[in-house]
Amino acid sequence: MDELDTDKQSAAENSRLQNRRLGFKLLWLVGAALLFAFALVPLYNVMCNLTGFNGKTNTVAADAHPKLDSTRWVTVSFTSTVMPGLAWDFYPKQSSIKMHPGAIETVFFISKNVTNEVVTGQAVPSVSPSQASLYFKKIECFCFKRQSLAPGETKEMPVSFYLSPDLPKDIDAVTLSYAFYNAIKLKN
């Protein structure tokens, strides 16, 4: 009978040891998953900026004097969205323009703070179709920095840009969209 009890104790101890090892492995797995989740957003943003995937655009054009392609026209449409938490009116002054690739154009977006306090927002651009984002070059844009509006203030915000003449010939329409978010207030 003592031998049977010893075998049961040994089996129980072995089971506890296996459970403890499994617990540590599962904790490592959870930690690795959390680390991967936090690293995923920056990695995704880098990939989007490099490839133009998901309509992300490069921030500043390298060549402010592109070659003009007057053999074709491209329609560029403008849309806007104000995200929840930002009490602004925000819209493009014109809904679209027709332009030649290589021509530098400037369009305006209108924003108005409809609150009784200073509000700061940040615009995030997106271009569709996504392959066109590689050829959409901004020279000047309100999206390069945060925008603050006083209570009731209305502001015209310019975007100067061009479409590279290397834009694929099958793309004859491009949409530039902005989503405006409430920026986190920084403490001085």
User: What kind and span of H or E run contains 79?
Assistant: strand 74-82
The pLDDT of residue 157: 97
Name the residue among 136, 146, 69 with its Cα closest to residue 111: 146
In order of their start, the domains of the chain are 54-182 (2.60.370.10)
The pLDDT of residue 64: 60
pLDDT tens for the chain, 188 residues long, are 566 677 777 778 888 888 888 888 888 888 777 777 766 666 665 555 555 555 455 545 555 667 888 999 999 999 999 999 899 999 999 999 999 999 999 999 999 999 999 999 999 999 999 999 999 999 999 999 999 999 999 999 999 999 999 999 999 999 999 999 998 643 33
The pLDDT of residue 66: 73
The pLDDT of residue 188: 39
Residues 81 and 181: beta-carbon distance below 8 Å: no
Name the pTM for this structure: 0.66
SS3 content of the chain, % helix, strand, coil (to 5): 30, 35, 30
